[in-house]
């Protein structure tokens, strides 16, 4: 290697490394600004801020527990609904769909992913909330004794927020999972068929080799659910309470920031809202860290074995 080529390689490595450091610097800067601008709230409430249920700007009492609960509860339930649906859509489009139907399905999936959240929120108010209200009114009285279904039939509440979040994150996860499945080499499927695998077993093999990307696609949808603001704000009811009931109106961290930040006049109130942003930032980092650890554990698993084909029948005597 010549001296010029070596110097060009050093410059290239240094330049790309600098771009990588920019990402780290941005994350550190965001965390530092949130930490500094929430200093009053951190100093006054400490760890009690995470555990207190009271949110009273007039009395100067602030606790983020209802918002943390509402954010995690709605996001996890939405992920449980949207994850299997998104994976099923991705498998059908990439593995089972006929050629004439594949392109329209891909276009519609990407179109749903591009719709602004405020449009989803308006659809939720005019279509989803009345539907959920009717569903709640039709709930049998014996079922309303279960803590999961207690409360008045308002329509605005956790159930509407969960369904809307699930609808919003399905296109994101399905689009990414579909691209991941497309990236699996055709030789993997051909090898499975050559060993006598059925179509389902060949798809399982493709899913195994695409497992890290599929988990990443699902976690992308989970991140969208954690940070969703306007659509959830419009349908969740915005009541700071901790409840397991799907019918109860509740609150999320992003929603309280959108509703109160512009009107917060007291310094402590502003710092408490910024600390909610800090809590959401920490939760997002923790979720991404756990997802990365889960992906790392998946990478150490062995591929499933295809069932051997039945031996060919010997001709009758």
Give the tokens for residue 82.
């949207």
| Strands annotated E in the chain | 55-56, 61-62
- The pLDDT tens digits for 169-200 are 999 999 999 989 888 888 877 788 888 888 88
Which of 21, 26, 42 minimizes the C-alpha distance to 278?
Answer: 42
- Residue whose structure tokens are 């859509």: 89
* Whether residue 215 has pLDDT greater than 70: yes
pLDDT at site 299: 64
pLDDT in tens, 47-95: 888 988 889 888 888 999 999 999 999 999 999 999 999 999 999 998 8
Structure tokens at 249: 């109106």
Reported as a pLDDT band with limits 50, 70 and 90, residue 151 is confident
Estimate to the nearest angstrom the gap between the alpha carbon of 93 and the chain centroid.
21
Q: What is the pLDDT of residues 247-280, one digit of tens each?
A: 999 999 999 999 998 888 888 999 999 999 999 9
* pLDDT surpassing 50 at residue 227: yes
Write down the pTM of the prediction. Answer: 0.86
Rounded CA separation 295/146 (Å):
36
Q: In the beta sheet, which residues pair with residue 250?
A: 237
Residues 197, 198, 200, 203, CA torsion sign = positive
Measuring CA to CA, how many Å separate 119 from each of 112, 126, 168?
A: 11, 11, 11
Percent of the chain with pLDDT over 90: 43
> CA torsion angle for 106, 111, 113, 116 (degrees, to 10)?
180
């Amino acid at each position: 290697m010549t001296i010029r080529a070596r110097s060009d390689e050093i410059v290239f490595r240094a330049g790309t490394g600098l771009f990588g450091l920019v990402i780290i610097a941005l994350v550190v800067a965001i965390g530092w600004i949130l930490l500094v601008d929430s200093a009053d709230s951190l100093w006054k409430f400490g760890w009690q801020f995470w555990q207190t249920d009271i949110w009273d700007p007039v009395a100067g009492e602030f606790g983020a527990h209802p918002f943390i609960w509402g954010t995690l509860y709605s996001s996890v339930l939405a992920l449980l609904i949207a994850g299997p649906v998104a994976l099923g859509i991705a498998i059908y489009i990439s593995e089972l769909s006929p050629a004439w139907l594949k392109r329209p399905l891909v276009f519609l999936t990407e179109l749903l992913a591009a719709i602004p959240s405020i449009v989803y929120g308006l659809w939720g108010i005019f279509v989803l909330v009345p539907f959920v209200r009717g569903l709640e009114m039709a709930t049998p009285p014996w079922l309303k004794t279960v803590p999961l279904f207690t409360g008045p039939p308002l329509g605005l509440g956790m159930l509407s927020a969960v369904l809307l979040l699930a609808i919003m994150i399905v296109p994101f996860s399905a689009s990414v999972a579909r691209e991941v499945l497309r990236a699996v080499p055709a030789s993997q499927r051909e090898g499975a068929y050559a060993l006598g695998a059925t179509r389902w077993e060949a798809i399982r093999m493709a899913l195994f080799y695409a497992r890290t990307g599929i988990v990443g696609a699902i976690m992308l949808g989970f991140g969208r659910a954690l940070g969703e603001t306007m659509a959830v704000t419009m349908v969740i009811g915005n009541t700071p309470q901790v409840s397991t009931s799907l019918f109860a109106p509740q609150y999320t961290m992003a929603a309280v920031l959108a509703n109160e930040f512009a009107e917060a006049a007291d310094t402590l109130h502003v710092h408490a809202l910024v600390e909610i942003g800090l809590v959401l930032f920490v939760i997002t980092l923790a979720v991404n860290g756990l997802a990365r650890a889960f992906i790392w554990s998946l990478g150490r698993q062995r591929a499933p074995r295809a069932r051997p084909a039945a031996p060919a029948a010997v001709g009758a005597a």
